[in-house]
Structures are given as structure tokens and as C-alpha cells.
Amino acid sequence: MNMSFSWRSASYEYKLSSMGQGALKQRRWKHRNAMKNFVVAAVCLLVIGNGAHAASAVNLDSEPRTLIVTEGGSKSELALAAGETVEFCSGGCFVTMPNGDREALTGSETIEISGGVARIR
């Protein structure tokens, strides 16, 4: 009597012989499609996750301040009231600070304006 018999291996061989080649190919494609769907979902999450970041500006002063934002070749003024926080520049831009300094932003920075001076964090 052979004591190395395993129900798992015996049942798997039985399934393979009873399914036939067509069913095996269909089963393989089913797993490939599941893997493809998983990879597509992971890539979508990465793209969405990276696009959600934007630069922000916080005015800690008691008076309004203005930043000049150049994004994609177009300039716009960003007026910040006292204590206001604004998000802008999701894909990279240039910002002219209240004191005239110009900085390039990638989209994940925070500009803090305090005492008329801007700091990038």
C-alpha cells in the first residue's frame, strides 16, 4: 500500500483530465484577464493619486496679498485675503511673490506669507 497518496494531487489530476484542453485554456485566459484588470486599476490609482496634488498658498498676514501665477504661458493674479488658503498650480508653474521674487513650483509645495515675506515649504 502506498502511503504517499494525497487527495489534493489526485483531485487536481482528476479535474485536469475531466476538463479537457479547451476548459484549461479558458481558465488561463480568465486568470490573465483578472491580472490585466488588476494592473489597469493599479495604474489608474497611481495616475489619480499623482494628479490630486496642488500647490497651496496661505496668507498669515492681516492684510491681503497678491501672487502672480504663470501656468502654461498665461499669467493670472491670485489675490489672498487675510487668513485665506488657496490651492492652485496642479501641474507646475512659476509664482512671483509679493516682494518680486520668482519661484518655480512643481505642484506639491505650500507658500506661507507672513509679514509680507513668502516662504516655500
In this prediction the pTM is 0.56
Backbone dihedral angles phi then psi of residue 79, each to the nearest 5 degrees: -90, 130
From CA 91, how far away is CA 105, in angstroms rounded? 9
The pLDDT profile of the chain, 121 residues, written as one tens digit per residue, is 555 555 555 555 555 555 556 665 666 666 667 777 777 777 767 766 554 578 999 999 999 999 999 998 899 999 999 999 999 988 889 999 988 999 999 888 999 999 888 999 8
